[in-house]
C-alpha cells in the first residue's frame, strides 16, 4: 500500500505498531514534516503518554492544521489511545491545553473511589460494539478482549452517539473504547498490543474493511451496564536476563536471588550461571503460549557499554517484531554515564527502551534512592527523580516500581516504632509474631532503612503507575505468593499491583487472585522449565471462574 503514514510526535513505543503493520505485509512511512500529513492516503496517529505533551508536540511541529485538513478531506484516519483522546475538545489531564476539537467532549480521569478499582486501567477488557450495520466495526469481536493502559477516558455520552463505535466498562464506569464516523476511526485500546485480535483489527483498517454486514442501515444501541465488569486478570511471564560465564546473554532464574547452579553429585555446572534459554526465543514462546505480558529484568550491569549499544535494546527490537503483547524492561533505569563521559538522564535511558519496543520501564534500586530523597525532603516532590521525569514525559502508566523486600521479624511493635509492621501468621525463628518488610537494592544484596509501605505509597505520590511486588523470602521456593505482603500493599495504594515470587503450581495463581484482589500474577522458573505451562494456569483459572484472557492460537 502506498501512502500509508505514521504520525509520530516523539512519544513512547511506536516501534510495536510499525512491526504490527509490517507483520501484516504493509510498509509505513513516517511523517517528518507538516506536508507529509497531506500526502498520506491513510494516516495512523498512535498516541502514547500524556494528553498535554501530545498536543504541545503537535503544535510545536506545526502538525495541528494539516491534521485537521487531512481529517476533513475524507481520507482514512485511525487514532490510538491518546491519538483518539486528541480528537476531543479537552482533557482533565491538561485542562489548559485544547485538543483538536473534532468531537465535542472532555477526556476525564477515572473515578478512583468507584468499586475499589485500580487506576490506571491497565490490562485486558472487552469492547462492546454499539453500532450494527455496514462499514462500522472494523472487526472488533464481542468475544475478544483488548489491551488498555490509561488513566483518562471519555465517558459515554448519548449526545455524541453517532461517533461511538464501542464502550467498555471498568468498575461501574462506562467509557468510549472506540469511535467511528465516516473516515475517522479510533481506539482507546492498543491493537498492536492486543495479540492476534488486535492484528485482525489493524488489518481491517488497512484493507478498508469494516463490517461483516451487507447494506443494512446502521443501528445504534445503548450500552448495557453490567453488575460486574469484564476486566481480566493478567498472567505475566518474567525473563531474568544476564550474561553467563561465556559472555552470552541468557535467561536465568535464581533461588532467593542466587542464579548460580548449586552442587549436586559433583555436577560440572556447579557454580555457573543457570542457563534456561535465549531471551528472544523464550519471549516468542510465551506469546504463543498465551502470556498476557512479558517482562525482561536485566540483572547484568553494562557499566562499560555506551547507552546506544546496550544489549537489551537489541533484545527488545527483535522481540517486538513477533510478540504483540505488552513488554516491560527493568534494570539500569537510572542516570548513566557512557565510557566517554557522556551523561544520559534516566528519562533518556527510558526513551531508548521505549523506542526499541518497550511499553513500560521497571525501576528498582533507583526507586528506593528516590524515596529516601523524597522522605528526607518532608515528602515534597523534587521533579527530578527518575520516577517523576519518566511519568511526566511518558505518563504514569509507563512507570513500574520493582520492589525487592525481605522480612525482618520483631517481637512487638514497640521494638520497631519507625516502620510499618504487620502481624503475621508465620512466626519468626524465635516465635516472633510481628514483622516489617525491608526494601533492598543492588539485586537484594543491600538492605535500606525503608519499608515496603513507605516505598509504594511514596512512589505512587511521585507518579508511578504500577507495582511489581517481589519477595526475597519466597523467591524460588514454589511455596506460593506472600499473601500477607500483597494484601498489605494492595490496601496501601490505588495503582495496579503485580504479585511475584513463590508460584509453584496452578493453585497458587487462583489463591493470589481470590485472596488479594491483585491485578496480575508473575512467574518465571516454572514457565521456563515447563513445570507449569501458562495454558495450564489459564485453564485452571477459568475452571475456578476467574476472568482470564482466552488466547488466539494464530492470526
Q: Residue 244, annotated ligand binder?
A: no
Q: What CATH number is associated with residue 411? A: 3.20.20.70
User: Do residue 197 and residue 241 come from a single domain?
Assistant: no
Look up 81 and say whether it is catalytic: yes
The one catalytic residue in 8, 173, 192, 451 is 192
Considering the domain architecture, whether residues 185 and 294 belong to the same structural domain is answered as no
Is 420 a catalytic site residue?
no
* Radius of gyration from C-alpha coordinates of the chain: 24
Does residue 52 register a pLDDT over 70?
Answer: yes
Q: In the annotation, is 29 catalytic? A: no
202 and 246 both lie in a single domain: no
More confident residue, 336 or 466: 466
Identified catalytic residue from 121, 129, 173, 190: 190
Residue 81 labelled as part of a binding site: yes
Catalytic residue among 289, 321, 372, 404: 404
pTM for the structure as a whole: 0.92
Q: How far apart are CA 387 and CA 369, in angstroms?
A: 11
Residues 208 and 290 in one domain: no
Same domain for 217 and 307, yes or no, is: no
pLDDT digits (tens, 9 = 90+) for 342-382: 899 999 999 999 999 999 999 999 999 999 999 999 999 99
The total number of structural domains that make up the chain:
2
**Residue 97 maps to a domain:** yes
Which residue of the set 81, 129, 238, 439 is catalytic? 81
Instruction: Examine the domain organization and report whether 84 and 213 are in the same domain.
Output: yes
pLDDT-derived band at 168, boundaries 50, 70, 90: very high
Q: Containing domain of residue 344, as a range?
A: 233-256+272-544
Q: Is 372 a catalytic residue?
A: no
DSSP label at 308? G
Is residue 134 in a domain? yes
Residue 262 lies in a domain: no
Nearest 5 degrees, angle CA 439-CA 444-CA 449? 30
Confidence class of residue 271 from pLDDT cuts 50, 70 and 90?
A: very low
Check which CATH number belongs to the domain holding 77 and give it: 3.40.50.880
213, 241: one domain: no
Chain center to CA of 328: 7
Residues 426, 335 share a domain: yes
Contacts (Cβ under 8 Å, ≥6 apart) of 341: none
pLDDT higher than threshold 60 for residue 42: yes
* 332 assigned to a ligand binding site: yes
Q: Strand 234-243 relative to strand 293-298: parallel, antiparallel, unpaired? A: parallel
Q: Which DSSP state fits 103?
A: E
DSSP structure class, residue 218: P
Do 109 and 33 lie in a common domain? yes
- 261 belongs to a structural domain: no
Does the residue 264 lie in any domain?
A: no
- Asked about 190 being catalytic, the answer comes back as yes
Same domain, 187 and 237: no
Residues 280 and 244 in one domain: yes
Domain shared by 150 and 251, yes or no: no
Amino acid at each position: 500500500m502506498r501512502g500509508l503514514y505514521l504520525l509520530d510526535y516523539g512519544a513512547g513505543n511506536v516501534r510495536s505498531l510499525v512491526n504490527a503493520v509490517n507483520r501484516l505485509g504493509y510498509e509505513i512511512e513516517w511523517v517528518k514534516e507538516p506536508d507529509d500529513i497531506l500526502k498520506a492516503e491513510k494516516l495512523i496517529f498512535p498516541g502514547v503518554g500524556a494528553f498535554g505533551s501530545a498536543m504541545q508536540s503537535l503544535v510545536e511541529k506545526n502538525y495541528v492544521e494539516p491534521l485537521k485538513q487531512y481529517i476533513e478531506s475524507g481520507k482514512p484516519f485511525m487514532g490510538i489511545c491518546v491519538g483518539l483522546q486528541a480528537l476531543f475538545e479537552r482533557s482533565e489531564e491538561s485542562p489548559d491545553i485544547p485538543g483538536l476539537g473534532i468531537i465535542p467532549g472532555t477526556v476525564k480521569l477515572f473515578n478512583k473511589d468507584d468499586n475499589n478499582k485500580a487506576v490506571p486501567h491497565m490490562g485486558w477488557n472487552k469492547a462492546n460494539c454499539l453500532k450494527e450495520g455496514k462499514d462500522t466495526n472494523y472487526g472488533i469481536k464481542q468475544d475478544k478482549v483488548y489491551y488498555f493502559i490509561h488513566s483518562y477516558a471519555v465517558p459515554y455520552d448519548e449526545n455524541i452517539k453517532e461517533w461511538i463505535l464501542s464502550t467498555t466498562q471498568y468498575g461501574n464506569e462506562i467509557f468510549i473504547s472506540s469511535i467511528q464516523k465516516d473516515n475517522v476511526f479510533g481506539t482507546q485500546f492498543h491493537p498492536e498490543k492486543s495479540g492476534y485480535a488486535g492484528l485482525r483489527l489493524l488489518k481491517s483498517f488497512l484493507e478498508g474493511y469494516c463490517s461483516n454486514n451487507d447494506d443494512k442501515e446502521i443501528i445504534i444501541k445503548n450500552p448495557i451496564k453490567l453488575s460486574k465488569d469484564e476486566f481480566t486478570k493478567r498472567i505475566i511471564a518474567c525473563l531474568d536476563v544476564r550474561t553467563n560465564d561465556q559472555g552470552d546473554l541468557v535467561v536465568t532464574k535464581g533461588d532467593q536471588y542466587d542464579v548460580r547452579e548449586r552442587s549436586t553429585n559433583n555436577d560440572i555446572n556447579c557454580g555457573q550461571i543457570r542457563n534456561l534459554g535465549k531471551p528472544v526465543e523464550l519471549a516468542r514462546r510465551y506469546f504463543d503460549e498465551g502470556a498476557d505480558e512479558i517482562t525482561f529484568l536485566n540483572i547484568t550491569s553494562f557499566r562499560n557499554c555506551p547507552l546506544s549499544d546496550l544489549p537489551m535494546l537489541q533484545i527488545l527490537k527483535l522481540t517486538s517484531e513477533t510478540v504483540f503483547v505488552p513488554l516491560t524492561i527493568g534494570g539500569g533505569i537510572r542516570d548513566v554515564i557512557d565510557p566517554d563521559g557522556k551523561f544520559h538522564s534516566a528519562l533518556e535511558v527510558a526513551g531508548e527502551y521505549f523506542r526499541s519496543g518497550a511499553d513500560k520501564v521497571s525501576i528498582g534500586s533507583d526507586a528506593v534512592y528516590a524515596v529516601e530523597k523524597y522522605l528526607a525532603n518532608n515528602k515534597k516532590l523534587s521533579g527530578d527523580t527518575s520516577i517523576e521525569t519518566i511519568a511526566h514525559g511518558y505518563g504514569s502508566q509507563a512507570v513500574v516500581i520493582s520492589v525487592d523486600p525481605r522480612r525482618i521479624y520483631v517481637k512487638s511493635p514497640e521494638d520497631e516504632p519507625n516502620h510499618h509492621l504487620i502481624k503475621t501468621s508465620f512466626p519468626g525463628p524465635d516465635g516472633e509474631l510481628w514483622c516489617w518488610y525491608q526494601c533492598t537494592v543492588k539485586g537484594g544484596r543491600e538492605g535500606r532503612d525503608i519499608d515496603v509501605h513507605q516505598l509504594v505509597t511514596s512512589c505512587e505520590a511521585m507518579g508511578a503507575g504500577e507495582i511489581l511486588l517481589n519477595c526475597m523470602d519466597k523467591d524460588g521456593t514454589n511455596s506460593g505468593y506472600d499473601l500477607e505482603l500483597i494484601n498489605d500493599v494492595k490496601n496501601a495504594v490505588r495503582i495496579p499491583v503485580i504479585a511475584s515470587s513463590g508460584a509453584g503450581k496452578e493453585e497458587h495463581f487462583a489463591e493470589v487472585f481470590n485472596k488479594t484482589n491483585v491485578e496480575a500474577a508473575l512467574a518465571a522458573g516454572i514457565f521456563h522449565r515447563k513445570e507449569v505451562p501458562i495454558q495450564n494456569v489459564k485453564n485452571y483459572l477459568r475452571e475456578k471462574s476467574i476472568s482470564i484472557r482466552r488466547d488466539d492460537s494464530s492470526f
